[in-house]
Structure 1
């Protein structure tokens, strides 16, 4: 049964964890009244990023390690326009799920926001290159000929009045770039997919800082709000992307599909968890691991099953292992002349080492 046929039968379910690119993007369920937004100036459809999807998913269809209940949780997050909070040990494919959703629903390029201890909310919303703007204004003023009107730099820049030679001053929007979160909240006809990776590594305040943005689907850029111009064209996180903003305000039309990952290093505030749907991912089964390897290598290389069995044994023994380790070990089996049972055994042991031991 095709994904489109399953959608008709199951009604509210549009995601089936097939990982297959659809012939035509499925129609998404209508948002509930309390999760509808009024973003104007609709953005064009986002570009695809097949190279990133290929790195994450391989060239063939993949079946992630999701059971029926997990798939229902993903569908509920899409229908309710709520973030999906995915927890689980490192390396089990939490962030990969964002790419599976984007490919299967035809939602284009995934916007990635990788969180570290110094990450602040503004980093995800936008960046203002104040130094670059100041240098551009200074260079523009230096280029004015003697006798040209010498208005203040800020007033002249805001009004974008050309000089006596017709040269326009630097425009504020040219020095503002929307971050991944800020770009995801632009008004698109279909939702963007936003991956907020490893939120548990953030400063303790970031989850609380996210509450307002995730609830209201909007934010303001103070520099543009104070600007005299009614609208500004700014850069986005998409390559070569631009967006026209009115009054310095951004509001989504369709709330993005937000996938937040956590390795469980700390708990999040109750107010934050209330706004998310939880999903715990576990280590894939042997069959799922074989399917993943096949998706990345087009076919199962010789010795792949032995590597998968060894990987499963290591995981069942209680160690901490990543799916990347398995792919690296299988890749070595494809190297000409490499013998797993010979001198290569020590190298395989190193590739599949227990990450919890620190070496």
Structure 2
């Protein structure tokens, strides 16, 4: 099903296998197909190259997560390509725009699910009443409750789509200590409620989503997925997660790319094979083998710099190259 080539589907996107009985969901109403975001995929992945971009064991882990409808918990050093994997899956399986959720210490579960602008709605109602309108007069201009609700990346991913969305939960280890536990219920049940909509007692409300300029219909204030999203959770290993959280995820430890993969990555991003790339890649691999912490971005920047017109490999040029390829584990 997933081969890590990053090639978009030639025709109809591939069908996913049936989920296990305990991972079947029945959310409704079905929403419109998600938008494409080819530009973000191009920035992350470059152009398509021949051959897999992951190791066999990494491909197997992704396929297991797709089959079992379980989140994929990816660990590994910074810059190894953990978050890029979400874009690789989305492009190859034709799943549309990736929903990125970048985690910081202030991130909360509610922020990932939805935001409700109570102050904005109160101001809109006050302005509506000040205009002379009443509940029985001019109701066509009553501020719509849905105009003040915006779903977050997690909340959008759990909408009912015909095919699963791809959700990237980036650097979960930077979160408040309670967030992994807060996620347990949502990831297990594939659903959540928006209390403000439940209290409003309306049959259906159109709200904003995390997709630019897109809206979705929510019935009775409750959201449930029809297909559990492809959830890619990344961690730099700064702390351990609770056992209850880890048992709901499939673990994948990513290692730095091989020499052949590094060459393929450079060619896919630059669209050509620059002269002298082998020497730079060999230098990069030697630094990794020596125990250094390096990012693929560093190699791409180094190749871009050394192939620029006027670059000289001696003197200041060499100093710039060393600065770009510095060991990230050694501070400055």
2:211 counterpart residue number: 238
Residue 194 of structure 2 corresponds to residue 221 of structure 1: yes
Residue 260 of structure 2 corresponds to residue 260 of structure 1: no
After superposition, the Cα gap between the structure-2 partners of 1:194 and 1:299, relative to the gap in structure 1 and judged at 3 Å, is: same
1:272 counterpart residue number: 245
Q: Pick one of 39, 48, 72 that aligns with 1:51.
A: 39
1:324 counterpart residue number: 297
Q: Pick one of 30, 46, 58 that aligns with 2:18.
A: 30
After superposition, the Cα gap between the structure-2 partners of 1:166 and 1:229, relative to the gap in structure 1 and judged at 3 Å, is: closer
Structure 2 SS opposite 1:344: helix
How many residues were matched structurally? 331
Q: Pick one of 253, 273, 276 that aligns with 1:303.
A: 276
1:68 counterpart residue number: 56
Residue 309 of structure 2 corresponds to residue 357 of structure 1: no
CA contact (8 A) 1:88 1:280 kept: yes
Structure 2 SS opposite 1:85: strand
Structure 2 SS opposite 1:74: helix
Residue 116 of structure 2 corresponds to residue 128 of structure 1: yes
Could you tell me how far apart the structure 1 residues matched to 2:14 and 2:146 are?
35
Deviation at 1:44, TM superposition (A): 1.2
After superposition, the Cα gap between the structure-2 partners of 1:166 and 1:219, relative to the gap in structure 1 and judged at 3 Å, is: closer
Deviation at 1:62, TM superposition (A): 6.7
Instruction: Quote the RMSD (CA, aligned, Å).
Output: 1.4
User: Cα deviation per residue 1:213-255 (whole Å; 9 max; x = unaligned)?
Assistant: 0000000000000003221100000111101101100000000
* Higher Cα radius of gyration: 1
CA contact (8 A) 1:111 1:237 kept: yes
User: Cα deviation per residue 1:246-295 (whole Å; 9 max; x = unaligned)?
Assistant: 11000000000000000000110000010000000001111110000000
CA contact (8 A) 2:201 2:220 kept: no
TM, length-normalised to structure 2 = 0.97
CA contact (8 A) 1:59 1:295 kept: yes
Could you tell me how far apart the structure 1 residues matched to 2:326 and 2:269 are?
22
2:3 counterpart residue number: 16
TM, length-normalised to structure 1 = 0.89
Mean Cα deviation higher: 62-71 or 289-298: 62-71
CA contact (8 A) 1:304 1:333 kept: no
1:193 counterpart residue number: 166
Deviation at 1:335, TM superposition (A): 1.5
Could you tell me how far apart the structure 2 residues matched to 1:220 and 1:308 are?
50
Could you tell me how far apart the structure 1 residues matched to 2:68 and 2:100 are?
22
Structure 2 SS opposite 1:226: helix
Deviation at 1:84, TM superposition (A): 0.3
Could you tell me how far apart the structure 1 residues matched to 2:92 and 2:155 are?
24
Q: Which runs of 5+ in 1 are unaligned?
A: 1-13, 150-160
Q: Which runs of 5+ in 2 are unaligned?
A: none
User: Cα deviation per residue 1:69-128 (whole Å; 9 max; x = unaligned)?
Assistant: 221111110011000000000000000000110011010100000000110101110011
User: Cα deviation per residue 1:299-326 (whole Å; 9 max; x = unaligned)?
Assistant: 1112322221121111112111111111
